[in-house]
């Protein structure tokens, strides 16, 4: 039987990206051939609903998929599919809504009239992993109720992947010879997985287990809420001998306490700044990035200046700047003093200019130092500090992606790309790493 052609289109956040990658692997294992959307007879769309604009993009993506030349069947899954399935179903009788991502493969097989493995032999059509840096989802759902956010409704309550299942995923990546896993979750810092002994394990403890029980060269944390970064977690990163990448993405959302209170964020601006200072004291090479929202309802000029000032003092290596977008169904959407679009645009421009300046300052501060880099394609890759890097000298040693190497940072291009020279293959001490708490 010919392999059925499928394409996966991802919309939205980092967690969606990891889930889409996993769906691709599962579809391949079931015998599907992964192809471009124009060739697909079935297109899976992992939808997003974080803002009203994101849902509009979801509907547009579905309509665009339906208009492809081969008139494919479309499977819509993810957040928008969970919140408003009827809206997507009404677009066409070729749309099937599957809110649960774990059911996507079985529904895809049934839609194409294939009850068993599409090829019958269960052999994958594609490599197990198509990236050098592989996301491992360890947590889903959120119990927070930020006033601008609808994700907690779409994703449901917090739940964590058991420790043994996490280790199995990490070992799969390790056995494939890949250099990095990225632990992800909707609320990663809320990880509370069960161990083989039925003990509950928090995120710092999970990291300790991965360090002890696997030899994966490098572990990276994706976005983690500031209130979940404990001193134990900071110590774990500091004591990992480089196996936990010195990088943290902390969604500050605002640098003004009054704005944070209206957002329903459970920390004050000065507490966030103190956290960043503690992290830098214990992990001097750390790079810190953030999400920040401008133009939240009621944000005054003074509040915006406070937010801008905090970001500048912290010195983020990367910032994701978002203009506030009213999400129907959230408390913030009906708050008074909505900020006019033209003011939001001006504030966004100023924050983005700061972000570009700080990213360059952080990258330039690393010139003259050595850092590990994951080579992902050709000479390009990602530093431990998460800056993009181009490395000279790899060909002399016959090094091809994927690889983990030590590099000497030489310069930063006008575009912000870090220029580096190959030093050696990175030889991490992958012996068990213990910490004071183990």
pLDDT digits 0-9 by tens, 161-191: 999 999 999 999 999 999 999 999 999 999 9
- pLDDT in the model for residue 435: 43
| Strand pairing class (133-140; 159-160) | antiparallel
Domain shared by 148 and 84, yes or no: no
Environment class of residue 137 by beta-carbon count within 10 Å: exposed (0-12), middle (13-18) or buried (19+)? buried
Local structure of residue 394 (DSSP, 8 states): T
Domain shared by 185 and 230, yes or no: yes
Domain shared by 194 and 334, yes or no: yes
Domain shared by 244 and 355, yes or no: yes
Query: What CATH number did the domain enclosing 204 receive?
Result: 3.80.30.20
* Beta bridge partner(s), residue 380: 377, 390
User: How many domains would you assign to the chain?
Assistant: 3
Q: Which of 291, 304, 218 is closest to 256 using CA atoms?
A: 304
- The verdict on residue 183 lying in a domain is yes
- pLDDT in the model for residue 127: 59
Q: Which of 66, 178, 153, 147 is closest to 331 using CA atoms?
A: 147
Integer angstrom CA distances of residue 432 from 61, 214, 287? 46, 8, 25
- pLDDT in the model for residue 124: 53
CA quadruple 210, 212, 213, 215: dihedral, nearest 10: 80
Domain shared by 18 and 37, yes or no: yes
CB–CB of 74/96 below 8 Å?
yes
- The verdict on residue 66 lying in a domain is yes
Domain shared by 199 and 323, yes or no: yes
Question: Of 365, 382, 417, which residue constitutes the final position of a domain?
Answer: 365
- The verdict on residue 181 lying in a domain is yes
On the question of a cis peptide bond just before residue 402, with omega within 30 degrees of 0, the verdict is: yes
- The verdict on residue 310 lying in a domain is yes
Residue 411's CB: how many other CB atoms inside 10 A?
11
Domain shared by 301 and 420, yes or no: no
- pLDDT in the model for residue 53: 84
**Alpha helices for 264-340 (secondary structure H):** 269-282, 301-314
Domain shared by 81 and 147, yes or no: no
Q: Which of 71, 75, 40 is closest to 32 using CA atoms?
A: 40
Question: Of 80, 111, 142, which residue constitutes the final position of a domain?
Answer: 111
Domain shared by 188 and 155, yes or no: yes
Query: What CATH number did the domain enclosing 82 receive?
Result: 3.40.50.12160
- The verdict on residue 119 lying in a domain is no
Q: How many CA atoms lie within 13 A of 192 on its CB side?
A: 9
Q: Which of 248, 167, 182, 143 is closest to 17 using CA atoms?
A: 182
Domain shared by 220 and 155, yes or no: yes
Domain shared by 246 and 324, yes or no: yes
Q: Which two tokens stand for residue 382?
A: 């990602």
DSSP strands (E only) in 71-195: 73-78, 95-97, 133-140, 159-160, 180-185, 193-194
- The verdict on residue 123 lying in a domain is no
- The verdict on residue 120 lying in a domain is no
Question: Which stretches of the chain drop beneath a pLDDT of 70?
Answer: 1, 115-128, 428-438
Q: Which of 402, 423, 13, 409 is closest to 178 using CA atoms?
A: 402
Q: Which of 359, 349, 365 is closest to 388 using CA atoms?
A: 359
- The verdict on residue 184 lying in a domain is yes
Domain shared by 409 and 335, yes or no: no
- pLDDT in the model for residue 197: 82
Domain that holds residue 199: 133-365
Question: Of 313, 337, 365, which residue constitutes the final position of a domain?
Answer: 365
Q: Compute the distance between CA of residue 84 and CA of residue 150 in angstroms, rounded to an integer.
A: 12
**In the block, which residue shows the tokens 């994951």?**
374
Q: Compute the distance between CA of residue 312 and CA of residue 249 in angstroms, rounded to an integer.
A: 16
Query: What CATH number did the domain enclosing 392 receive?
Result: 2.40.50.140
Q: Which of 383, 384, 370 is closest to 421 using CA atoms?
A: 370
């Amino acid at each position: 039987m010919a392999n059925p052609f499928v394409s996966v289109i991802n919309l939205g956040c980092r967690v969606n990206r990891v889930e889409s990658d996993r769906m691709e692997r599962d579809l391949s294992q079931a015998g599907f051939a992964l192809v471009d959307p124009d060739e697909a007879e079935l297109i899976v769309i992992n939808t997003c609903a974080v803002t009203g604009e994101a849902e509009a993009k979801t509907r547009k993506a579905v309509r665009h998929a339906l208009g492809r030349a081969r008139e494919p069947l479309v499977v819509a899954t993810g957040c928008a599919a969970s919140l408003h399935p009827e809206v997507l179903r009404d677009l066409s009788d070729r749309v099937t809504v599957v809110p649960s991502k774990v059911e996507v493969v079985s529904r895809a097989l049934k839609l194409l009239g294939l009850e068993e493995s599409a090829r019958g032999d269960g052999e994958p059509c594609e490599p197990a992993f198509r990236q050098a840096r592989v996301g491992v989802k360890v947590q889903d759902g959120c119990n927070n109720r930020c006033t601008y956010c609808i994700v907690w409704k779409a994703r449901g309550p917090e739940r964590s992947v058991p420790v043994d299942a996490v280790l199995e995923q990490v070992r799969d990546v390790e056995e494939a010879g890949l250099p990095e896993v990225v632990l992800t979750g909707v609320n990663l810092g809320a990880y509370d997985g069960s161990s083989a002994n039925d003990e509950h394990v928090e995120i710092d403890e999970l990291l300790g287990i991965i360090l002890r029980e696997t030899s994966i060269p490098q572990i990276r944390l994706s976005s983690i809420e500031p209130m979940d970064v404990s001193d134990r977690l900071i110590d774990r990163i500091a004591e990992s001998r480089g196996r936990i990448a010195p990088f943290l993405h902390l969604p500050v959302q605002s640098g003004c306490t009054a704005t944070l209170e209206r957002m329903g964020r459970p920390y004050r601006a000065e507490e966030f700044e103190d956290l960043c200072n503690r992290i830098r004291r214990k992990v001097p090479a750390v790079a810190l990035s953030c999400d920040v929202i401008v133009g939240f309802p009621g944000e005054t000029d003074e509040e915006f200046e406070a937010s801008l000032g905090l970001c500048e003092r912290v010195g983020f290596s990367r910032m994701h700047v978002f203009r506030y977008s009213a999400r129907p169904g959230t408390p913030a959407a009906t708050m008074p003093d909505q900020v006019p679009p033209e003011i939001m645009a001006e504030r966004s421009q100023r924050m983005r200019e700061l972000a570009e300046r700080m990213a360059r300052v952080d990258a330039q501060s690393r010139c003259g130092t050595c850092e590990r880099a994951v080579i992902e394609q050709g000479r390009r890759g990602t530093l431990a500090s998460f800056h993009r890097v181009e490395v000279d000298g790899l060909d002399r040693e016959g090094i091809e992606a994927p690889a983990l190497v030590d590099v000497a940072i030489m310069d930063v291009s006008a575009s912000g790309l870090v220029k580096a020279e190959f030093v050696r293959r990175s030889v991490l001490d992958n012996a068990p790493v213990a910490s004071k708490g183990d």
